[in-house]
Amino acid sequence: MDRRKLMLLGAGALTASVLPGIGRAQAPAAPSPSSTPPLVPIRLSPDQVFRTTVCLRPFRGKGPRIETETVGRKQVVHNYGHGGSGWSLSWGSAEYAVRLAMQSSPRKIAVVGAGALGLTAALMAQRAGAQVTIYARERFPFVRSAFATGSWTPSSRVAMAAEVAPDFADRWETMARYAWSMHQSYVGLAGNPVEWMDQYLVRGGGRPGPRPAYADIKADFIHLDGRINDIVPHSQPVPNDAHPFASENVQRTNMLTFNVASLAHQLTEDFLEAGGRFVPAQFHSLSDFTRLKEKVIINCTGYGARALCKDESIVPVRGQIVWLAPQADAHYGFYYGGVSVLGRRDGVVVQDVGWNEMFGWNDDNETIDPVAARESIENVARVYRG
Ligand SMILES: Cc1cc2nc3c(=O)[nH]c(=O)nc-3n(C[C@H](O)[C@H](O)[C@H](O)COP(=O)(O)OP(=O)(O)OC[C@H]3O[C@@H](n4cnc5c(N)ncnc54)[C@H](O)[C@@H]3O)c2cc1C
């Protein structure tokens, strides 16, 4: 296959993972471009940067681990390893994990971990009637979940096609559909924890710089978005006079966006209001769980599970985000030249997504790369006309 074809294929897979609605045929169509107000360009300049963060996706080739293990006299339900789809799948995964946890009808449940998966599992366990305590080393805003892009990407780096169990796609679909409905119930709340945003695919911006070695590795990531085509809005072309982008090939879709600061706050409030408790705790091995008074424990330790459970099937997939000051008149996102931009309420998220999904693969370096941060802003600043 020639280099250009490879690049196009890579870009396609990547685009599907960062903008899942883009490129699908048939609609529930997004509203027509003429019905929306003109887009205000986002201020993409270095003077708008207020922080840069790095986070590791907890990827497992087999997909998230959601199963029960007996540790001493405790039932441990694992709920970790969600790769690049942890926020998106959180509720669906929690529903599954809590169903396992409730099999012995415990009155009290311990949840270990206070990231996206821990908070949603704790809330689901409360709904199921349990008294819940969350034990965690870190809470928001210091958990890795705080540094996610914040898009509905339920099959982004969620598993490898060749490694999943035969029923994985069905289980994924059930989780994705459940999570989708739960996320909708946070739309329209004060602080917009979850909201719909327009997303644009702006074609034509080639990636500058030499082609890295990872770009030629054949990646076998599973892509399942087609299974939920019926509930996710699809893309449509945008006429040139209806957008400010320096391209004649622009598509738009609507996407569910998580304003993570507000969402985490809302989930925390809901948990506390239902009688939940947080207890700071650090566990060094699974046998440390036997010290907890609860008999049933849901383990939502994300990348931390690699050391805690000695689970080397967890591969870190590094991602860096440059945060620009939020812009009140620009709540939309776009993908251009290998960089994704999302105008969230808690900051404009600029993320280099690399040449393909191997970007950041097996890289556990959580140190900020200031050169890459500067380059991602420079690359994307060319997106507007003039
Ligand atoms: C750059 C980037 C962008 C992303 N964008 C998206 C996106 O747009 N949409 C999406 O759906 N997903 C996205 N993801 C993926 C998502 O962020 C993760 O899947 C998700 O955050 C994992 O959440 P978690 O709760 O499992 O883990 P974490 O957030 O890491 O939480 C783990 C919790 O366990 C605790 N813990 C860990 N080990 C121990 C221990 N030994 N003892 C005590 N406590 C412990 C931690 O303190 C923490 O409270 C992105 C990831 C990255 C890196």
Is 89 part of a structural domain of the chain? yes
Which residue's CA is the closest to the ligand 1 atom numbered 18? Answer: 86
- Residues with Cβ < 8 Å from 320, sequence gap 6 or more? 52, 53, 54, 351, 352, 368, 369, 372, 373, 376
From the CB of 333, is ligand 1 less than 6 Å away? no
112 Cα: distance to centroid of ligand 1 (angstroms) = 12
pLDDT of 12 > 80? The answer is no
Please compute the mean of the pLDDT values over residues 175-181 and round it to a whole number.
Answer: 98
Is 318 part of a structural domain of the chain? yes
For residue 149, the number of C-alpha atoms closer than 13 Å in the C-beta half-sphere is: 29
Which residue's CA is the closest to the ligand 1 atom numbered 41? Answer: 283
pLDDT at 11: 46
Is 350 part of a structural domain of the chain? yes
**Structural domain tally of the chain?**
1
- Identity (one letter) of the amino acid at 316? P
Which residue's CA is the closest to the ligand 1 atom numbered 16? Answer: 86
pLDDT of 310 > 70? The answer is yes
Q: What is the pLDDT of residues 287-306, one digit of tens each?
A: 999 999 999 999 999 999 99
Which residue's CA is the closest to the ligand 1 atom numbered 32? Answer: 301
Under a CB-based contact definition with an 8 Å cutoff, are residues 202 and 335 in contact? Answer: yes
Of 16, 18, 7, 12, nearest to 349 by C-alpha is 18
Mean pLDDT of the chain: 92
Please compute the mean of the pLDDT values over residues 252-272 and round it to a whole number.
Answer: 97
271 Cα: distance to centroid of ligand 1 (angstroms) = 18
Domain that holds residue 57: 3-380
31 or 285: whose pLDDT is higher? 285
Is 222 part of a structural domain of the chain? yes
pLDDT at 86: 98
Pocket test for ligand 1, best of 18, 135, 301 (most atoms within 8 A of CB): 301
From the CB of 90, is ligand 1 less than 6 Å away? no
Is 385 part of a structural domain of the chain? no
Task: Put the strands of the sheet holding 250-258 in their side by side order.
Answer: 49-60, 314-324, 347-352, 339-344, 332-336, 194-202, 250-258, 236-237
pLDDT of 271 > 60? The answer is yes
What percent of the chain is predicted at pLDDT more than 70? 90
pLDDT at 37: 67
Is 386 part of a structural domain of the chain? no
